[in-house]
């Protein structure tokens, strides 16, 4: 049989533990929270040792050239993606976050804890709202809000939710979703896995075909091979998963641009603090069983413990209860 480390190297997915083996932390959902400026400044200084947020958020044209061969954060060195003229033309000239600073920011994770939370208004009141993986909001506005200033867009979303843009219906639906994101930053980690090569091509073609229809334009951000910087920082805090979760990376970025960061939808457990059962994502179909698939790459409970610790320190505000 394969050993644990062989599993970790991706030989085979390890068997998933039963949901009941993950214990739910005890959280206080009522305590007042105030920012601790000293601790927050220290936390930012610690991050800055590893992450240059303004630069790491996206490649800029002056750093790359057409034909340059890119590698991937999580694939073997033999896998490559040469930068095409089309992709080059979609890379921003300057960082989409150059000199940006916001007062209050909401980082919206996709946990089922947001269902029936009525946190939508509170989230939308933030000056800047970060979301993950193009998560749907239309049907869930009262719980997750509708304002979106930044969303991550793993190219695999195209495969999973838009059938690789193969039909006129998928194309129209995708265009419609993109139109609603005009002015927002779309953060596309195209150089994480080689598996996204084909979808990245489909995506760049689609952007170029419809470019003129976006006014204000879409702000595309294409991070280079930067995942290591984030992992190295969190390693200093005792966290070293195979891959950090998207939410953790977004939170790290938000801390560098925002005075105050509030987190919603971060709760990787199958029941709420009051023990009502939850779906994994707030947008999962009714009756979907809580997935433990993340176990293959992430350490979500360990991430949550760290976030909870930072909440207690006054560095970030974690919301895990309905908003009043
Ligand atoms: O790309 P990834 O699988 O990391 O994320 P996702 O499933 O699209 O969810 C977005 C983020 O929300 C995750 O990266 C987690 O940080 C957070 N999340 C959580 O804390 N608890 C859940 N039950 C689901 C997601």
Question: DSSP 3-state assignment of 115?
Answer: coil
Q: Which helix (H) or strand (E) holds 235?
A: helix 227-235
Q: Which of 15-19, 134-138, 250-254 has the lowest mean pLDDT?
A: 15-19
Q: Which of 49-63, 265-279, 284-298 has the lowest mean pLDDT?
A: 284-298
pLDDT band at 31 (very low <50, low <70, confident <90, very high): low
**Hey, which of 266, 272, 284, 303 would you mutate to test ligand 1's pocket, going by the most ligand atoms within 8 Å of its Cβ?**
266
Nearest C-alpha to atom 20 of ligand 1 is from which residue?
266
pLDDT at 3: 35
- Under a CB-based contact definition with an 8 Å cutoff, are residues 105 and 126 in contact? yes
Question: How does the average pLDDT of the chain come out, rounded?
Answer: 91
- 280 CA distance to ligand 1 centroid (A)? 8
Task: Return the closest-CA partner of residue 218 out of 177, 247, 246.
Answer: 177
pLDDT at 7: 33
Q: Is 280 in the pocket of ligand 1 (CB under 6 A)?
A: yes
Q: Is the pLDDT of residue 4 over 70?
A: no
- 281 CA distance to ligand 1 centroid (A)? 8
Q: What is the ipTM score, two decimals?
A: 0.99
Task: Return the closest-CA partner of residue 54 out of 238, 253, 234, 229.
Answer: 253
- 320 CA distance to ligand 1 centroid (A)? 14
CA torsion sign for 195, 197, 199, 203 is positive
pLDDT at 10: 34
pLDDT at 26: 79
**Mean pLDDT computed over 84-112:** 97
- 246 CA distance to ligand 1 centroid (A)? 6
pLDDT tens digit sequence for 128-171: 999 999 999 999 999 999 999 999 999 889 998 999 999 999 99
> Is 298 an active-site residue?
yes
**Mean pLDDT computed over 222-240:** 97
Residue 104: CB partners within 8 Å, gap ≥ 6? 125, 126, 127, 128, 258, 259, 260, 262
Q: Is 224 in the pocket of ligand 1 (CB under 6 A)?
A: no
pLDDT at 13: 42
pLDDT band at 8 (very low <50, low <70, confident <90, very high): very low
pTM above threshold 0.95? no
Q: Is 266 in the pocket of ligand 1 (CB under 6 A)?
A: yes
pLDDT band at 290 (very low <50, low <70, confident <90, very high): confident
């Amino acid at each position: 049989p394969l050993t644990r480390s062989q599993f970790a190297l991706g030989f085979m997915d390890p068997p998933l533990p039963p949901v009941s083996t993950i214990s739910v932390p005890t959280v206080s959902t009522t305590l007042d929270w105030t920012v601790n400026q000293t601790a927050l400044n220290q936390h930012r200084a610690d991050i800055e040792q590893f992450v240059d947020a303004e630069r790491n958020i996206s490649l800029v044209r002056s750093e790359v050239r057409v034909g340059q061969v890119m590698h991937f954060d999580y694939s073997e060195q033999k896998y490559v993606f040469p930068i095409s003229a089309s992709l080059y033309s979609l890379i921003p000239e300057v960082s989409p976050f150059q000199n940006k600073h916001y007062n209050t920011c909401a980082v919206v994770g996709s946990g089922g804890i947001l269902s029936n939370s009525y946190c939508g208004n509170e989230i939308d009141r933030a000056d800047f709202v970060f979301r993950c993986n193009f998560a749907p909001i239309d049907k869930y506005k009262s719980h997750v809000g509708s304002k979106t200033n930044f969303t991550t867009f793993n190219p695999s979303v195209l495969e999973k939710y838009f059938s690789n843009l193969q039909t006129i219906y998928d194309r129209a639906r995708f265009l419609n979703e993109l139109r609603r994101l005009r002015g927002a930053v779309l953060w596309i980690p195209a150089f994480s896995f080689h598996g996204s090569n084909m979808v990245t091509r489909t995506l760049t073609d689609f952007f170029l075909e419809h470019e003129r229809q976006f006014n204000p334009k879409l702000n595309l951000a294409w991070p280079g091979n930067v995942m290591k910087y984030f992992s190295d920082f969190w390693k200093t805090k005792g966290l070293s998963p195979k891959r950090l979760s998207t939410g953790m990376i977004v939170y790290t970025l938000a801390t560098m641009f925002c005075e105050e960061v509030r987190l919603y939808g971060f709760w990787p457990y199958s029941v709420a603090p009051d023990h009502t059962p939850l779906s994994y994502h707030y947008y999962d179909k009714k009756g979907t069983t809580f997935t433990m698939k993340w176990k293959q790459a992430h350490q979500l409970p360990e991430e949550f413990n760290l976030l909870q610790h930072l909440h207690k320190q006054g560095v970030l505000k974690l919301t895990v209860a309905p908003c009043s």
